[in-house]
Amino acid sequence: MTMDPPQPHLSMKGRTPRALLRQSNEWLERSKLPKKIASLTWKASGIEGFCLVEPDGNEARRCWTIRELTTSAEVRREGEAMRHCVASYIGTCARRETSIWSMRFENHERRHRVMTIEVDLATRTICQARRRGNALPNLKIIDLMRRWAEQAGLEIDL
């Protein structure tokens, strides 16, 4: 599903950061998905997930995982936690055009989401990867993503 941009000729000229933030927040409120979508589930893609356990000194370990999200509730929580619009991909996930994956990190002190990954199922290609607030991945997590792609037989086209 392709949508035309709501303001195709939007310009930053003359806009203040405050006005832009207000407009962005208004758009987010308008774009919230209806409650009925919160109950969608779909079959897993068949692509294997990823787990890497690394030593963290003094017999402690850190664990990196990448797992597929297979319900609209999971995708919505991912978007809220990561402060990006991954929930807008629920329709393409339900139609099995794409799959959404959550990379997470855990050690003895904390557990948190690191990055959200989109895979094009027709081509088995990682086509998008974003950290919190749509930040691009750093070198460490690019390396982990490449290791997963190699293990799972995926291509990367970012």
Per-residue pLDDT reduced to its tens digit, 32-75: 555 555 589 999 999 999 999 988 777 678 899 999 999 999 99
> Is residue 47 a contact partner of residue 68, using CB atoms and an 8 Å limit?
yes
| Diameter over CA atoms, the chain | 56
- Indicate the pLDDT class of residue 141, thresholds 50, 70 and 90: very high
pLDDT the model gives residue 1: 43
Distance (Å, whole) CA 85 – CA 76: 9
> Which burial class, exposed, middle or buried, applies to 38 when counting CB atoms under 10 A from its CB (0-12, 13-18, 19+)?
middle
In this predicted structure, what is the pLDDT of residue 39? 81
pLDDT in tens, 79-128: 999 999 999 999 999 999 999 999 999 988 889 999 999 999 999 999 99
Q: Are 144 and 52 in contact (CB under 8 A)?
A: yes
pTM attached to this predicted model: 0.76
Q: Is 89 helix (H, G, I), strand (E, B) or coil?
A: helix
- Which among 104, 130, 106 has a CA at the least distance from the CA of 117? 130
Q: Where are the domains of the chain?
A: 40-156
The pLDDT of residue 56 is: 72
